[in-house]
Amino acid sequence: MGHKVIDKEKYYRKGVFRHFSEDCKCSVSMSARIDVTVLAEYSKKKGTKFYLDFLYLLSKTLNSRDDYKMGYLWQTDELICYDVINPTQYVFHEDTETCTVVYTKYYEEYETFYKNALNDLEQAKKTREYGLDAQAHPNWFDASYIPWLSYDSLNIELPDGYLFFAPIINWGKYREENGRLMMPVTVRMNHAVADGYLVANVFRLLQRETDKFVLR
């Protein structure tokens, strides 16, 4: 979990960071739909799980820019940027209607990521424990699929005084709209390290990565 320490005095968001980490501690949450028509077709054609294909693209997107890999070490009051962030996914147990946390490492190579992510899911199906261990996984971001609903909006709130900088991403069931498959995605980030532009940019980058992926 390598990281670099950010000099707060030289941080390009210095003023914004100070304001939203001291005066007005809050988060920014945005929901929008992305076009997954070609990705769904790709997954069906290749026989892969659409969910894991999307998880890979999401992980690649968030690792493409330092703004999405920020962290805060409260023990030393340091603003940091992780070298890599990994997805915390979940497996849902139909029998107990509960979830188990699944820690999956991000690999830039798709085949490696897919193989390991699939194995992580299979292993998690063997337990009914929640298994959250955030202290041992500081550079993991939350990636949660809500397959039962194609929602229009979703909000996740954290206490205002809690400087939690990892992105929290949710997505729901895709649905057909005007002949295209559109999927709701929600991005939540701490306002100290992200504003409307950076949150909206996740959707733009994610759509671009999705479109590029199917052309491989």
Annotated domain spans of the chain = 3-213
Round to whole Å and give the CA distance between 195 and 28.
7
Helix-strand-coil percent breakdown of the chain, rounded to 5? 35, 30, 40
CB 156 within 8 A of CB 28: no
The closest of 203, 214, 215 to 62, measured between CA atoms, is 203
Tell me the pLDDT of the chain (216 aa) as tens digits. 799 999 999 999 999 999 999 999 999 999 999 999 999 999 999 999 999 999 999 999 999 999 999 999 999 999 999 999 999 999 999 999 999 999 999 999 999 999 999 999 999 999 999 999 988 999 999 999 999 999 999 998 776 667 999 999 999 999 999 999 999 999 999 999 999 999 999 999 999 999 999 887
Q: May I ask the CATH architecture of the domain 3-213?
A: 2-Layer Sandwich (3.30)
